[in-house]
Chains A and B, each alone.
Chain A
Amino acid sequence: MVERVNNCVIPKDLYYKVEDNTWVKLNDDGTVTVGMTDIAQSLAGPILHAKTKKIGMYRKRGKPIATVESGKWVGPIKAPVSGEIAEINEELENDPKLLNKSPYRKGWVVKLKPDNLDEELKDLVTGDEAVAKYREKIEAEGLQCTHLEGTDSYED
């Protein structure tokens, strides 16, 4: 279920907004979990601070759900789909490097209650198509993912 391209981990069961380096996981309760990709954490380097938006805030697709800072990079994590913030990952405040070490699991950023999911999912890619798109991007930009000690192995 997990593909690796130039050391970059790409789980095939997630949906991706490739240009923003974000992912979406569909949950059984109708919410979606959102986070940043392994490529995003590699480009940013060790994350020093992460500040999520507040629960209850409505985020239109493309608006920030969080602001992330490393020593060399600062920027928004953009909502890949529209929805209200239902839950935030409070662990990130104390341990922002979860974004580096476990971008697809412990380093999730927010859960959204999406309100236009069927339509907006059409603009995201998943499975083999996602791997192909990322392979293209990784090769075109000469990207190589780097991992901090203690990074998730994704072997289970």
Chain B
Amino acid sequence: MELEGKKILVIQTHGVEAPTRTYSPLYYAVAAAAMEMEVMVWFTMNGTNQLRKGVAEMIKLDPSSNVCLKDMLQMCLDNDVKLAVCQQSLNLWNMTPDDLIDGVEILGATSIIDLALSYDHVMYF
């Protein structure tokens, strides 16, 4: 199967309250990008709170490692994985666009429905 050019949408609904559920979706996203797929990670519900400036730096899975969640988010951006957040979920966390880390696009619910239909595969976490 030719993988190049396929589109994967990763939906992340987990955030800082569940650190062990934060890394893998981003890891999959970067892996798919490295395999030359077009990838977007869509953060909604609790997933949104990891995008607040200064928060992802505090999330470390392995205390002995110097890798934090911010590194994973940056790895996404470095590999052209698009990061997008649900407009409505910002309100849930009393966040404004200024609170978001750089590189995150804000989209509404209708956009995500359109995207979900246009991508080849959706991975939901």
Contacts and interface: CB of A to CB of B under 8 A. Distances in A.
A26 interface: no
Contact of B27 (A63, A64, A74): A74
A56 interface: no
Main secondary structure of the interface of A (DSSP, over half): strand
B95 interface: no
Nearest to B31: A74
B65 interface: yes
A67 B34 CA distance: 6
B34 A64 contact: yes
Interface in A19-72: 51, 63-64, 67, 69, 72
Contacts of B62: 72
Contact of A72 (B31, B34, B65): B65
A74 B30 contact: yes
A72 B67 CA distance: 7
Interface residues of B, number: 11
Contact of A75 (B30, B36, B65): B30
Interface residues of A, number: 10
B79 interface: yes
A76 B36 CA distance: 9
A79 to B, nearest CB: 12
A73 interface: yes
B18 interface: no
B35 interface: yes
Contacts of A74: 27, 30-31, 34, 75
B40 to A, nearest CB: 17
A67 B32 CA distance: 9
Contacts of B36: 63-64
Nearest to B79: A75
Interface in B77-104: 79
A72 B60 CA distance: 11
A67 B67 contact: no
Contacts of B35: 51, 64, 67
Interface of B: 27, 30-31, 34-36, 62, 65, 67, 75, 79
Interface of A: 51, 63-64, 67, 69, 72-76
